[in-house]
């Protein structure tokens, strides 16, 4: 008999479900405080340098939004799939395809385009992501192959494809054989929304995705079907909901949004196609989706928070001379506390062996 047991509580309170992310953030800050203290830094100054300094200027806030944009775009799409038990783990690959197809359109019309190139690139980005996500959807429905594995493996195929293109057809002919494309023409670049920052049109797309995701999940009949399929597949079959259609819909939707995020990176802050379009936004967005409780508004907040951990980590490296791993430490603590809080609102801990009936 074990000495520590978890005993289910009757019902988890709804308020606690939404409060746990806040609690997790508070615990992360408290642990960060102790961690900096142990490392010999003034903890108040260090936390200030990590969490406040980077976003105390307009430019810093802009960078926060720039980093949050792909996370939110992808997170909203993934969360809708997760609600239906469709586990698209390959958003990174779909993002890459969005960059390849949408960016490819920008390169194809290099030098003789016009205002119409950008909308075409956006559509191309969405289509590229959708096409890449359609493969796991088809494999799942045709061969019952797990989309977790197929979508993840296709990510590596996508990265290799990008690598091939960037060393071949996409390479800048005047680029001294560096594996990079040309810089996009101004008409093929997403316009900036706020002067003095790098915030671009993609952030508006992200906000639209949040609003659209919310309407879809809480107001439409499709959203209701998605929730029923995720909670109780047998009830969905009984009600006559078409599960295949929902698999297609959720994978195409999340793939399309990931593709849009990829296009947003190359036609936005990067301005060209490079071998590393994303520092892993597609994977981090999975954390964002769960941290945001699979709810679009929660995902918006979670996306901003994860973006802060990225830029705070960079700032801490510069200001305090801390190693790069500090970003990972804070992201890890955040996840750890979130999961721990989740367990503790559903279960209570009991010490000592189970008492036998006397």
Partner 1 sequence: MASPTPRLDLRGITKRFPGCLANDHVDLALLPGEIHALLGENGAGKSTLVKIIYGVQHADSGTLHWEGREVAISDPHAARRLGIGMVFQHFSLFDTLTVAENIALGIEDKTTSLKDLAVRIRAVSERYGLALDPGRHVFDLSVGERQRVEIVRCLLQDPRLLIMDEPTSVLTPQEVGRLFETLRRLAAEGCTILYISHKLEEIRALCDRATVLRGGKVVATCDPRKETARSLAEMMIGTSLSTPERAAAAVTGAPRLEVRHLSTTTDVPFATELKDVSLEVRAGEILGIAGVAGNGQAELMAALSGETLIGDEGAVLIEGRPVGHLGPRARRELGLAFVPEERLGRGAVPELSLSENALLSGYAREPLVRSGMVHFGRARSYAEKIIDLFNVVTHGHRAEARSLSGGNLQKFIIGREILQKPKLLIVGQPTWGVDAGAAAAIHQALMDLARGGTAVLVISQDLDELFVLCDRISVLFHGRLSPSTPSHQTTVEQIGLLMGGLFGNSGDDEGEVGRVA
Q: Which residues bind partner 1 (CB under 8 A)?
A: 7-11, 219-222, 224, 227-228, 231-232, 234-235, 237-242, 354-358
Nearest alpha carbon to residue 255 among 170, 146, 338, 155: 155
For the bound state, the minimum distance from the C-beta of residue 56 to partner 1, rounded and expressed in Å, comes to 43
Rounded CA-CA distance 296/302 in Å is: 10
CB 240 within 8 A of CB 52: no
Residue 111 or 142: the one with the smaller Cβ distance to partner 1 is 142
For the bound state, the minimum distance from the C-beta of residue 83 to partner 1, rounded and expressed in Å, comes to 12
DSSP state of 240: T
Residue 4 or 356: the one with the smaller Cβ distance to partner 1 is 356
Residue 8 or 321: the one with the smaller Cβ distance to partner 1 is 8
Instruction: Give the 3-state DSSP-derived string for 2-30, with helices as H, strands as E and coil as C.
Output: CCEEEEECCCCCHHHHHHHHHHHHHHHHH
Residue 32 or 223: the one with the smaller Cβ distance to partner 1 is 223
Sort residue 155 into left (φ over 0), alpha (ψ -120 to 50) or beta: alpha
For the bound state, the minimum distance from the C-beta of residue 2 to partner 1, rounded and expressed in Å, comes to 15
For the bound state, the minimum distance from the C-beta of residue 232 to partner 1, rounded and expressed in Å, comes to 5
For the bound state, the minimum distance from the C-beta of residue 98 to partner 1, rounded and expressed in Å, comes to 27
Joined together, the tokens standing for residue 186 give 């101004």
Phi, psi of 241 (to 5 degrees): -80, 140
Residue 19 or 353: the one with the smaller Cβ distance to partner 1 is 353
Q: Return the SS3 of 192.
A: strand
- Give the CB-side neighbour count of residue 69, counting CA atoms within 13 A: 27
Residue 50 or 241: the one with the smaller Cβ distance to partner 1 is 241
For the bound state, the minimum distance from the C-beta of residue 233 to partner 1, rounded and expressed in Å, comes to 9
């Amino acid at each position: 008999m074990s000495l520590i047991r978890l005993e289910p509580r009757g019902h988890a309170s709804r308020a606690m479900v939404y409060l746990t992310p806040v609690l997790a953030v508070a615990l992360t800050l408290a642990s960060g405080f102790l961690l900096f203290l142990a490392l010999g830094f003034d903890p108040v100054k260090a936390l200030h340098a990590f969490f406040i300094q980077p976003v105390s200027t307009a430019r810093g806030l802009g960078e926060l939004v720039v980093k949050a944009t792909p996370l939110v775009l992808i997170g909203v799409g993934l969360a809708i799939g997760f609600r239906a038990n469709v586990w698209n783990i390959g958003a990174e690959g779909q993002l890459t395809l969005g960059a390849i197809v949408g960016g490819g359109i920008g390169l194809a019309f290099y030098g003789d385009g016009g205002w119409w190139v950008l909308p075409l690139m956006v559509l191309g980005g969405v289509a590229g992501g959708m096409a890449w996500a359609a493969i796991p959807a088809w494999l799942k429905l045709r061969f019952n192959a797990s989309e977790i594995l197929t979508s993840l493996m296709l990510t590596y195929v996508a990265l290799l494809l990008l690598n091939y293109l960037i060393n071949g057809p996409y390479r800048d002919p005047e680029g001294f054989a560096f594996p990079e494309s040309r810089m996009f023409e101004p008409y093929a670049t997403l316009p900036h929304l706020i002067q003095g920052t790098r915030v671009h049109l993609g952030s508006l797309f992200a906000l639209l995705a949040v609003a659209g995701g919310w309407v879809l999940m809480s107001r439409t009949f499709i959203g209701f079907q998605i929730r029923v399929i995720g909670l109780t597949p047998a009830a969905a079959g009984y009600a006559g909901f078409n599960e295949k259609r929902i698999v297609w819909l959720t994978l195409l939707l999340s793939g399309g949004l990931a593709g849009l995020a990829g296009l947003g990176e190359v036609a936005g802050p990067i301005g060209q196609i490079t071998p590393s379009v994303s520092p892993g936004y597609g994977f981090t967005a999975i954390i964002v989706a769960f941290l945001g409780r699979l709810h679009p508004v929660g995902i918006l907040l979670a996306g901003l928070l994860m973006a802060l951990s990225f830029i705070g980590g960079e700032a801490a490296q510069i200001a305090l001379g801390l190693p790069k791993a500090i970003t990972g430490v804070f992201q890890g603590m955040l996840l750890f506390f979130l999961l721990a809080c989740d367990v503790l609102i559903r279960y209570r801990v009991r010490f000592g062996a189970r008492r036998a009936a006397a």
